[in-house]
Chains A and B, each alone.
Chain A
């Protein structure tokens, strides 16, 4: 595939709850696919998307697959630029140091800069 010749900076903004719909999973699938083709990836959790980072999820109670377990695979795919919007975390009472994966807390201004530096942005 010709993609390996074209390495772009792609920022994914994941804004949806983990189990309220399929968008969170859809976003993660896009991230992992892009990672397989060695694109330069930023992953940002924002708005209700930060709920994906909450520890101690019990999705088996609603017959759902554990999305947070899938998030722990990100380093294996060398997706290391993972951010969460600080205000989204604090508004929901989430501690940036006690999440299912390590993230870098970013302000809205920092995320705006990330978007400006990106070739392509997906938000879902």
Chain B
């Protein structure tokens, strides 16, 4: 089945982001296709490369990045959600003259059109955290 995973929640604030990760990993292991990961609203915090949990805790941002890299997933962070929460890639950081960029290199900033496209192209859209 072709699936899209929509994440509304930040890591550690609730269980939802971790559940989304586990769902995605399990779906891939079961042979399903992940058409797109879409991080929206507080979910954009999943793409913050500066997330630094204690060493004895699960590093969700790192885990997402490895999953995306391994399976060559299309991972989008919603640009309007991300910018107002301080998640910027180098291009946006330069555009808005910010001191730093912090978005993980495996994520891409884009708009809600990518969610609408995923909605049209996927058999199911699974939402986590709202």
Contacts and interface: CB of A to CB of B under 8 A. Distances in A.
Interface of A: 1-3, 5-8, 10, 22-23, 26, 29-30, 33-34, 36-37, 39, 120, 122-124
Interface string B1-26: 00000101000000000000000000
Given A22-B41, A124-B8, A3 B116 contact: yes
A6 B115 contact: no
Given A6-B120, A124-B130, A33 B41 contact: no
A33 B113 CA distance: 6
B125 A120 contact: yes
Contacts of A123: 127, 130
Chain B interface size range:
10 to 19
Contact of B120 (A2, A30, A122): A2
Interface of B: 6, 8, 40-41, 80-81, 111-113, 115-117, 119-121, 125, 127, 130
B125 A33 contact: no
B41 A37 contact: no
Contact of A23 (B6, B111, B119, B130): B130
Contacts of B40: 26
23 contacts: A1-B117, A3-B121, A6-B121, A8-B119, A10-B119, A23-B41, A23-B130, A26-B8, A26-B40, A26-B41, A29-B80, A30-B115, A33-B112, A33-B113, A33-B116, A36-B113, A36-B116, A37-B113, A39-B119, A120-B125, A122-B125, A123-B127, A124-B130
